[in-house]
Amino acid sequence: MDLIRSGAGREEVSAPGSDPDYSGFIKSINASTGIDLSQYKEAQMKRRLTTLRTKHGYSTFAQFFEAMKKDKNLFFEFLDRMTINVSEFWRNPNRWEVLRDTIIPELRAGGKKGLKVWSAACSTGEEPYTLAMILDGHGILGDSKLNAADLDEGALAKAKQGQYLERSLKDVPPKVAEKYFKAEGLMYKVDDKLKRAVNFHKANLLTDKFDDGYDLIVCRNVMIYFTEEAKATLYHKFASSLRKGGVLFVGSTEQIFSPGQYGLEPCDTFFYKKI
């Protein structure tokens, strides 16, 4: 057993690959879905999925996998737990303000009317709808192409529905919230103009081929769950998908060290431009 120190004291964690039940589960999931759990940090993922497995009364991952094959809702719950669908509109507002006030104008240099934008790992839609609000504020939403992808079909269904609890709107500027949201009971509905502007689709970042020519790619608060090898692969793929001068926008805990190895350079905090 390897020992690591946590905030609450010392915690025992099995060495990678030492649990044949979990290793078999990883292989079964990969073979049946193409999702490679070995690309995720094992201690975090195993702990999260063990909690889910135990909640449903299964004592082994082998039993849990067999149950998921028969129960689609259980499989969707597994995907939701695996992909950590926690999101808010305008999350870390000052970074979105930099995008709105500095990055977008720079990307439009030369008179570009519209931008090609991708929200990768878009979860339940708060991020791409925030992008849509910003593009609309610049008057270029109609001329822009805004794609949004996620692995979790349940999250994508919620995104397309476009209804959110008030707490998801806590960082939205008041005037923006008033313009783009309508209260319906306990929920707030996104304006249909934004919904029509976003092309939601299913994608596996680790295995699927990316489109290219993007002006802006946003992938925030996702990379922290991947191994260093998986991160490097994704940074190379993102860089290849950007046009020269295009920008990658990452989360507030995801600073890229030595971005030059991916053909990127910092252009603001958590923003990286393709060289």
Distances (CA, A) of 267 to 103, 135, 259: 9, 20, 11
- Which residue type occupies 83? T
Distances (CA, A) of 190 to 158, 159, 227: 12, 10, 35
Check if the beta carbon of residue 3 is closer than 8 Å to that of residue 12: yes
pLDDT at 10: 28
pLDDT at 83: 60
CA distance 154 to 123: 9
Q: Within a 10 A sphere around the Cβ of 73, how many other Cβ atoms?
A: 9
CA distance 54 to 57: 5
Q: Strand 145-150 relative to strand 116-120: parallel, antiparallel, unpaired?
A: parallel
pLDDT averages per 10-residue partition of the chain, 275 residues: 28 54 92 78 89 95 94 83 71 94 95 94 94 98 97 89 87 96 88 97 94 97 86 96 98 90 96 98
User: CB within 8 A of 261, min separation 6: which ones?
Assistant: none
